[in-house]
Amino acid sequence: MVATTGLVGFRPAPSLVGRVTAPPYDVIKPGSALWARLEAEPLSLFHITLGKEPAAAFERLKREGALVPDDEPAYYVYEQRYTGPEGAEETRLGVFVAAEVTPYEAKQIIRHEKTFDDKVKGRIALANATGHTFGPVFALTRAPLLEVLRGIVSKLAPTYELTTDLGGLNDLHGIRSRIVRVTEASAEGQAVKRVLASDPFYIADGHHRYHAALRNGQTHTLIYVTERARIQAYNRVVRGMRSFAEARGALALRPTAAFATPPKHAFCLYTREGSFLVDAKSVPTDVVGRLDCSILEREVYPHFGLEHSMIADAAHFDYYPESQLGEMKDAVDRNEYEIAIALHPVTIDELVAVADAGLSNPDVVMPEKSTFFAPKILSGLFVFRHTLR
């Protein structure tokens, strides 16, 4: 169902791939230690995706040989090895492709989440300033892709091998990656093309990147496709219009020993007065209303004077993946925010249910900041030269 082609554009010089590649732009918080680390690396893609002069930075990385041209259309098979939450080594296989950009009503690229207009405009500005796409959309497919990709990595030598060093400041730190380049014209490339054409893509992460490509009139965009992914909870720290002390009497709080991921349909709150559990009062049957992030907004936020219109306002909200519960507590202890709220993660089945419901009703989408896919995908393994319609 999805037409794909091989990628053309630029890729890192093999000896510099670890210095060029970076986490996705939207997980690099301004003023953070990760921001400072990437800013200090002159060859990092950070200077393009988040720098003040992206076009100049792009030209500099090309001029200095950090990015080299590759004009033969090719797919890039991407293997990540990492330690899973249970302590065992896990492997995820996916592939970078240039996928045709089609409107949502075509039901080829299927979304599940709302987007923020300012973020979309920022990605369009970057695309138009450089003529290239730097960060991939992360998509899921039901097509039997793994079988094809396993055959490729078992017999072809990798173009890149690296262990990402981010000083422990991001979930991508320590992940071992192998990337295998497969030309589109080869038998392996044609096998990838055929299998991906059999099913639609479900956007897992990168809704803003895809929506920017759609609004910008691009014919194709850079997409990473895989069959499997793990969703972490996307938690939040908040500062309400009413304080915790004012609101606590209206909440059925149960003290708990630790700030941790709660059971489904419950929320764990951390304050400087301790940690508490709050159970959902009602769980609707509709695919969006029953999501914990929807219940939280409906049942808990009003007690703190918080409204949906505030969720992108850094004075009231910030967001952290499930793996950063400690950082959330620190933000509360430093009085940057008053309350940290941990949710249970959305399941793949819930995501697909919302996405499928949205096929017949485009108003059915998840609330913003509903999911956090981990591990993320490195940006900069390929820089795609897109064209406009």
Q: What is the CATH number of the domain that holds 331?
A: 3.30.1760
By residue count, the chain amounts to 389
Q: Which amino acid would we find at residue 74?
A: A
- Do 237 and 89 fall into the same domain? no
- Do 207 and 244 fall into the same domain? no
The SS3 of residue 307 is: coil
Q: Which residues of the chain have pLDDT under 70?
A: none
How high is the pLDDT of residue 367?
86
Any domain includes 367: no
What CA–CA distances, in Å, run from 389 to 135, 154, 213, 303?
A: 20, 38, 11, 48
- Do 79 and 188 fall into the same domain? yes
Backbone angles phi and psi of 247, in degrees to 5: -95, -20
Any domain includes 27: yes
The span from the CA of 350 to the CA of 368, in Å, is 15
Domain ranges, residue 11: 4-232+372-385
- Do 28 and 136 fall into the same domain? yes
The span from the CA of 71 to the CA of 58, in Å, is 17
Any domain includes 19: yes
Any domain includes 363: no
CATH of residue 144:
3.90.1530.10
Any domain includes 112: yes
- Do 285 and 218 fall into the same domain? no
How high is the pLDDT of residue 369?
87
The span from the CA of 70 to the CA of 128, in Å, is 20
- Spacing of C-alpha 323 from chain mean position: 14
- Do 207 and 252 fall into the same domain? no
Virtual torsion, Cα 295, 299, 340, 375, nearest 10 deg: 10
- Do 79 and 170 fall into the same domain? yes
- Do 221 and 290 fall into the same domain? no
Backbone angles phi and psi of 67, in degrees to 5: -115, 130
Report the phi/psi class of residue 369: left, alpha or beta, with left for phi > 0 and alpha for psi in -120 to 50.
Answer: left
How high is the pLDDT of residue 270?
98
Any domain includes 357: no
How high is the pLDDT of residue 230?
87
Any domain includes 213: yes
Q: Which of 164, 155, 169 is nearest to 77 (CA)?
A: 155
What total of structural domains would you count in the chain? 2
- Do 171 and 285 fall into the same domain? no
Q: Where are the beta strands (DSSP E) in the chain?
A: 4-5, 7-12, 67-83, 89-100, 109-110, 132-133, 137-141, 160-163, 176-183, 201-205, 220-226, 230-238, 254-256, 266-271, 274-279, 317-321, 339-342, 371-374, 383-385
- Do 203 and 228 fall into the same domain? yes
Tens digits of residue pLDDT in 320-340: 999 899 999 999 999 999 999
- Do 72 and 115 fall into the same domain? yes
CA angle 181, 182, 186 (to 5 degrees): 160
Any domain includes 353: no
- Do 151 and 228 fall into the same domain? yes
